[in-house]
Structure 1
Amino acid sequence: MSIIGVIIIGLFAGFIAGYLVKGTGFGWIINLILGIAGSLLGSWGFSLIGINFGNGLLGTLIAATAGAVIIIFVVNFFKK
């Protein structure tokens, strides 16, 4: 998927991750920004270690959401 596609998916992933990490999110704007970073991390990281969620939109969204959740947890850990 192109970098623009990953960024757009990252916006949705940040929105979903904000609901999954309820109570530890940073507000919807920061969650969307972290979602974009998580999308880049998820698409790169999971392909690097060989985990494939599928090549379609749903697989990319799952990887991006997982990356966004990881990013939100890490940022929250260093925030405290």
Structure 2
Amino acid sequence: MGIIAWIILGLVAGAVARMLIPGKAPQGMGITFALGIAGALLGGFVATQVLHVSGIQGFFDLSTWLCAIVGAAVLLGGYHLITSRRPDRRVGRR
């Protein structure tokens, strides 16, 4: 797949993963899409290199989309956990 296909796949995977993560999303759409692209790449890498699954068959293959969505959901979930535990440091807040 070409780089444009990876970007499109990551954008859609990020949007789908955002719908799957419960709770209020602390990030905007820009971060969601960036994490979606990174998650799609991470999911494809893990599927092919670590798990030895041929997860990247083509743009319209179901396993490619599942790898991308799972990777994006993992990154978005991690981002949600990290940002939700951050203490509120605004002046006057307790």
TM-score normalised to structure 2 length: 0.72
Greater relative contact order (Cα < 8 A, sep 6+): 1
Task: Give the number of aligned pairs.
Answer: 80
Q: Report matched runs for 1:58-73 at 5 Å.
A: 58-73=62-77
More helix by share: 1
Q: Which amino acid aligns with 2:64?
A: T
Q: Larger C-alpha radius of gyration, 1 or 2?
A: 2
SS of the aligned residue for 1:64 comes to: helix
Unaligned residue ranges in structure 1 (runs of 5+): none
| Percent of aligned positions that are identical | 35
Give the CA RMSD over aligned residues: 1.8
Q: Could you give the per-residue CA deviations for residues 27-73 of structure 1, whole angstroms, max 9, x where no partner exists?
A: 33321111011011111121112133461323221111000001011
Unaligned residue ranges in structure 2 (runs of 5+): 86-94
Structure 1 residue 24 displacement after superposition: 4.8
Q: Report matched runs for 1:1-80 at 5 Å.
A: 1-25=1-25, 26-49=27-50, 50-53=52-55, 55-56=57-58, 57=60, 58-79=62-83, 80=85
Structure 1 residue 74 displacement after superposition: 1.5
